[in-house]
Amino acid sequence: MHLDMADDTIPLSSDPDTLAYTLAAARRGKRRRRPSGSRMPRAAAKNEPRLSPSQRRGLAFEDDALELLAGHGLQPVARNLRASPGEIDLALRDGDTLVLVEVRARGNGRYGGAGASIDRAKQRRLARAAALLLPRLAERHWNGRIPPVRFDAVLFDGDARPQWVRAAFSIDDGMVR
């Protein structure tokens, strides 16, 4: 004996326990199937991050900085590297040197401009983030060898052209210069 449920044929057993189990399993399977159009539409694609206007502007400045540095021969390694102390905007390769870049933009030069916003506290956070990220970067891009590291900055002040500051700060004997 067979029970026909829509397109599926389920064999029936004379044992009541087996019959109950078979019918319950068939119902569960039917209940899980939904028409493909019955889901609510999503606001954004799963892999598409929602960004605020200031985040979009920041990414645009990072794009401009990357274009500037690539134009000077640096090779991109990574972007937006996150570690618990902070985020490193750009990582590039300049020969055998790993260049970690902080991108800063300010609408005007008041309060010292974009460069002044990279204070000692920010430098320490970047240095701690670099220390955490360096082993992974070395493994992927320098065959496990720890490369020399340089901290650069690309500054955008108002409508002025971007300014690339090589060795904006450095780590010497654990001290930030």
* DSSP H or E segment with residue 17: helix 16-32
Phi, psi of 171 (to 5 degrees): -110, 115
Q: What is the pLDDT of residue 174?
A: 43
What's the chain's average pLDDT? 81
Residue 151 has pLDDT above 90, yes or no: yes
Q: What is the pLDDT of residue 12?
A: 53
* DSSP H or E segment with residue 92: strand 86-94
Q: What is the pLDDT of residue 113?
A: 85
Residue 176 has pLDDT above 50, yes or no: no
Is the pTM above the cut of 0.85? no
Q: What is the pLDDT of residue 175?
A: 44
Greater confidence (39 vs 165) lies with 165
Residue 89 has pLDDT above 50, yes or no: yes
Is residue 136 within 8 A of residue 81, CB to CB? The reply is no
Q: Could you confirm whether domain 53-176 is CATH 3.40.50.410? A: no
Q: Helices marked H in 33-174 — which ranges?
A: 53-71, 113-116, 120-141
Q: What is the pLDDT of residue 158?
A: 85
Q: What is the pLDDT of residue 40?
A: 46
∠ at Cα 80 (159, 53), nearest 5°? 50
Q: What are the residue ranges of CATH 3.40.1350.10 in the chain?
A: 53-176
pLDDT-based confidence at residue 49 (cuts at 50, 70, 90): confident
Q: What is the pLDDT of residue 51?
A: 87
